[in-house]
């Protein structure tokens, strides 16, 4: 149980285009999902907290207009990288908290999406 999927797993795009990444909780519901960015040989950096039915909460230094987050349902959150540039190339990972009896527990992570902007 507690499986999180991401789509696509890899994407290559041209500079200036927008890319959408989907994060789905397959066998549980999640009112909260998280988006992380991981640079090569570095730890995960929390970008934003995605809340179902409300606006995402962005971490300091993360441009909300560039990284659009939509949490449309209890099983789906999307991250759209708008007007992507080569410096946006990275490994993007989402996670989700199962809500069990009203108590949030462990975050379960998706397999990640490798974005390469040319």
Q: What's the closest the beta carbon of residue 84 comes to another protein, in angstroms?
A: 20
Q: Does 107 bind another protein (CB under 8 A)?
A: yes
- The first and second tokens of residue 21, run together, are 């990444």
Enumerate residues 1-40 that contact another protein by CB under 8 A: 4, 6, 34
CA–CA dist 39, 116 (Å, integer): 12
Q: Does 108 bind another protein (CB under 8 A)?
A: yes
- The first and second tokens of residue 98, run together, are 């199962």
CB 68: neighbour CB atoms within 10 A? 16
Binds another protein by CB under 8 A, chosen from 7, 20, 66, 114: 114
Q: Does 112 bind another protein (CB under 8 A)?
A: yes
Q: What's the closest the beta carbon of residue 56 comes to another protein, in angstroms?
A: 13
C-beta closer to another protein: residue 6 or 75: 6
- The first and second tokens of residue 42, run together, are 């570095």
Contact 110, 4 (CB under 8 A): yes
Contact 116, 11 (CB under 8 A): yes
Binding site for another protein (CB under 8 A): 4, 6, 34, 42-44, 46, 49, 93, 95, 97, 104-112, 114
């Amino acid at each position: 149980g507690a499986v999180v999927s991401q789509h696509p797993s890899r994407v290559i795009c041209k500079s200036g285009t927008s890319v959408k990444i989907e994060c789905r909780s397959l066998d549980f519901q999640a009112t909260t999902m998280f988006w992380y960015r991981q640079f090569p040989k570095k730890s995960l950096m929390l970008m934003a907290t995605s809340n179902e039915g409300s606006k995402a909460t962005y971490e300091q230094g993360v441009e909300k207009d560039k990284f659009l987050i939509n949490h449309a349902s209890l099983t789906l959150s999307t991250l759209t990288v708008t007007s992507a540039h080569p410096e946006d190339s990275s490994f993007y990972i989402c996670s989700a908290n199962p809500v069990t009896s009203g108590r949030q527990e462990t975050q379960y992570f998706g397999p990640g999406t490798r974005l390469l902007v040319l």
